[in-house]
Amino acid sequence: MVSTIPISDRYRLKTSQLDMPPRLLLGPGPANVHPRVLAAMSTPPVGHLDPSFLTLMNEIQDLLRYAWQTDNELTIAVSGTGSAAMEATLANVIEPEDVVLVGVKGYFGHRLVDMASRYRAKVHKLMKPWGEVFSLEEIKTGLEKHRPAVLALVHAETSTGVRQPLEGIAELCRQYDCLLLVDTVTSLGGIPLFIDAWGIDLAYSCSQKGLGCPPGASPFTMSSRAVDKLHSRRTPVANWYLDMGLLTKYWGEERVYHHTAPINMNYGLCEALRLVAEEGLEQRWQRHQANAELLWRGLEELKLVSHVDQEFRLPTLTTVRIPEGVDGKAVARKLLDEYNLEIAGGLGELAGKVWRIGLMGYNSRPENVLLVLEALAQVLSRR
Ligand SMILES: Cc1ncc(COP(=O)(O)O)c(C=O)c1O
């Protein structure tokens, strides 16, 4: 008979209740969540085919359609983080040898390139310096040159703090007969976004930023044009878990088991989306804009320079240049250790050059802006 290894021998003894520090999360996400979302998540789970859960799934779909301003039938929450929903968009419409054009102007553009290549697309990149946006002319030139089946763009680049304008791009995509795929991870619930009016064919997002829920259930939507491409595939979707043909049998009328949905994540997402609807999208967008402007004015007073021109600056995520001679990592660490306040450093090309300050969802509030400005002022003055 094999005897169990006592917990104290091999593992560090952890038998007391979970105890995590009370952080204020003002980085690129996750953000703090509304107490109602946390309460919803601690509701005892029902079964994943329980009639009450199926009703909740329908409600999530309707609320997502509202948050995204779309009538797309295929609108669901993917079980997983934003990257899972990102992969779902690519996996369902790419077939080997399809040409995919990705607008790369930051870290997440590169991730799209990497993922699309793994589905054996012929991937071309449209490049732009980190902190800038693509013009319609540049996109038209890219479409003309590469004639892609899919154009993929990041609406809100979390690595740079840039908002890519999307108006007019779908018209170009129709002209060149290609699908428009958009990453809305740092835009949904925080800045104006109109899936149908802007002609977006595929979009994904996450739960942990503008929607104000922990990470783990990620919005996904697909237009009828994209669904047509899915239905006319010559090859099966090369990812079983994210195959919308299978997933819609669970989220749609048939209600066939596919995988066990993360029940409590969906409780949280549903409550977060109810909060979005209660507040109203326009009010929510205005709140994010007003609090971001308060932050930008305060940063200017601290003589800190924003990395992005105001016209294209994201209200959900601000990139601030780290002043000469300042150890950006050490400052962020002090904010965490002394103020329980999280901000982040730069990613990729902007590593060591900027701080990233997020004001997302429940966290986009004036008191949080004043707190981060005061804490930054104190830490910088003590150097
Ligand atoms: C723009 C963008 N796309 C995709 C992702 C990936 O999402 P996740 O980390 O939830 O998998 C992120 C995460 O921050 C992001 O900011």
In the chain, which stretches have pLDDT less than 70?
Answer: 7-15, 383
CA angle 277, 282, 286 (to 5 degrees): 120
Q: Are residues 166 and 95 in the same domain?
A: yes
The first and second tokens of residue 290, run together, are 């007003």
Q: Which pLDDT belongs to residue 1?
A: 84
The confidence score (pLDDT) of residue 10 equals 67
Cα of 81 from ligand 1 centre, angstroms: 8
User: Distance between CA 350 and CA 338 in Å, rounded?
Assistant: 25
Residues 249 and 341 in one domain: no
Between the CA of 185 and the centroid of ligand 1 the distance, in Å, is 6
**326 found inside a domain:** yes
Tens-place pLDDT, residues 21-74? 999 999 999 999 999 999 999 999 999 999 999 999 999 999 999 999 999 999
In sequence order, the 6+-apart residues with CB closer than 8 A to the CB of 361 are: 31, 33, 34, 189, 190, 209, 210, 211, 212, 213, 272
Q: In the numeric block, which tokens belong to residue 140?
A: 């038209």
According to the model, what pLDDT value does residue 243 have? Answer: 98
Residues with CB under 6 A from ligand 1: 28-29, 81-83, 86, 108, 154, 158, 183, 185-186, 206, 215
Q: What are φ and ψ of residue 137, in 5° steps? A: -60, -45
Residue 159 inside a domain? The answer is yes
Compute the distance from residue 116 Cα to the ligand 1 centre, in Å: 16
Q: Which atom of ligand 1 is nearest to the CA of 84?
A: 11
CATH number at residue 373: 3.90.1150.10
Using most ligand atoms within 8 A of CB, pick from 107, 108, 112, 318 the residue to mutate for ligand 1: 108
How far is the CA of 45 from the CAs of 40, 77, 192, 265, in angstroms?
A: 10, 17, 34, 10
Q: What is the pLDDT of residues 202-258, one digit of tens each?
A: 999 999 999 999 999 999 999 999 999 999 999 999 999 999 999 999 999 999 999
Query: Which residues span the domain enclosing 313?
Result: 24-31+281-381
Domain end among 254, 277, 300: 277
**What's the chain's length in residues?**
383
| Residue 278 CA to ligand 1 centre (angstroms) | 26
Domain end marker among 277, 307, 330 = 277
Atom of ligand 1 nearest to the CA of 209: 14
Using the atom order of ligand 1, give the atom closest to the CA of residue 215: 10
Both 106 and 201 in one domain: the answer is yes
